[in-house]
Structure 1
Amino acid sequence: MQPHIVQHDLKKGCLLQKLDHTGAFPIDVAEIPVCAESALAGQTLQQAWTKADLSLLPVAINRNNRFLFIAIHRERLHPSDTLIVIGQPSSIRELQRLATLPSQ
């Protein structure tokens, strides 16, 4: 399962260009589905980010076509949730790996 990259090419004047005004590193927005067997399922975003040392900004959780924005760092992730994040492509790939990796 691949993350859906919402914005890949930074265009002058777009939000992502303003976030990375130096142009030193690329920033993407991605939708990452949480698989049923995922190591992330059942964890809060705060727990998941701390354990994996992820350099991503969580924007929202899409749960059953309802977007959660407020206090999502305390929200436990459910199988079939989709995380919407902003960050560097390498961090997005790591989150995608964790979202599909079976729990131990």
Structure 2
Amino acid sequence: MTTAIDPIAPEGSKALFGNSYMHTVLVEISKHDGETFSPKQIIDATGLPGGLVHPLIKRLRSQHFIEYIGRVPGEKTTLYMANDNPYIRAAREYARASATSG
């Protein structure tokens, strides 16, 4: 039996994380499962403006949820990687369940 996974509304994200869009960003980051990602990839995938995504990435980095890896050679593109922790694992599981339901 498959249970449909409903997306968490901004109000739910705010209740859980204190920010309406943190859940969306965290789930998108978790999809990069051991691979680097750039803020632009998160912006493009979520449709959220950079003005929302960049501060959330900064917050996640300051709390060691993600790690700064470096820059793409010859570009200004910054690269990050998710650290293994319960929140990233839960977001990854949520992303997988959401992808298989529906």
Instruction: Tell me the TM-score normalized by structure 2.
Output: 0.33
Q: Which has the higher strand share?
A: 1
Instruction: Tell me the TM-score normalized by structure 1.
Output: 0.33
